[in-house]
Amino acid sequence: MKSLSRTIRDSRLRTHNVIRAWLKPKMGAIGTRYRLAARIRMANGWATKHPKRTFLYVVGSLLFILVGDMMVAGMRAEIKEPNVNMIANVEPIFNGFRTIQANKEAHRKTILEMTTKGQTIRHELDSMIAIPAKSHEDSIGIIRRYNQLENIVKSLKQNDND
């Protein structure tokens, strides 16, 4: 069983060989057509005879490319000015965020009020149930308070599910 790294290496080598086999005839034809091998030999011979000039040409070319690239990059930076309109359009997003936060706070206050009211009703209900001799009005009050408490609990459970 081959290791994973060896499998990857073999696959990469096969891919390289396929690309090389496809590319070699095409590059050979271009080299033959433009006589690149002869020109490269001539250029190497000239460079061997004139090392100082070769050095100056190479350094000068690289310096020219560097300066040109810096100029192009500088011109692009000058063209790109910050888009103030995009920054100004952020305000509606913040207003929407503030509205959402205000609605959340109002919802939280409502839930706290309902919870407090539910606890109050529960205490009243407990005290009314604890009365040993209840009148008809007490029984109706117990049922009303129980229904109120039931509605509050349903509402709080529905808010928990949302």
pLDDT in tens, 16-33: 999 999 999 999 999 899
Considering the domain architecture, whether residues 43 and 56 belong to the same structural domain is answered as no
Mean pLDDT of the chain: 88
- In a domain, residue 86? The reply is no
| 106 and 155 belong to one structural domain | yes
High-pLDDT (> 90) share of the chain, %: 56
153 with 130, same domain: the answer is yes
Q: Is 58 exposed, middle or buried (0-12, 13-18, 19+ CB in 10 A)?
A: exposed
Mean pLDDT, residues 107-130 taken together? 90
- Residue 1 pLDDT > 70, yes or no? no
Domain that holds residue 73: 50-80
Inside any domain, residue 129? yes
pLDDT at 154 over 70: yes
Q: For the whole model, what pTM was predicted?
A: 0.42
Residue 93 lies in a domain: no
- 152 and 107 belong to one structural domain: yes
- pLDDT for 160: 73
Asked if the model's pLDDT at residue 63 lies above 70, the reply is yes
The answer on pLDDT for 100 being more than 70 is: yes
| Residues 151, 109 within the same domain | yes
- Asked if pLDDT for residue 74 goes beyond 90, the answer is no
Is residue 94 assigned to a domain? no
Residues 109 and 157 in one domain: yes
Examine the domain organization and report whether 55 and 42 are in the same domain. Answer: no
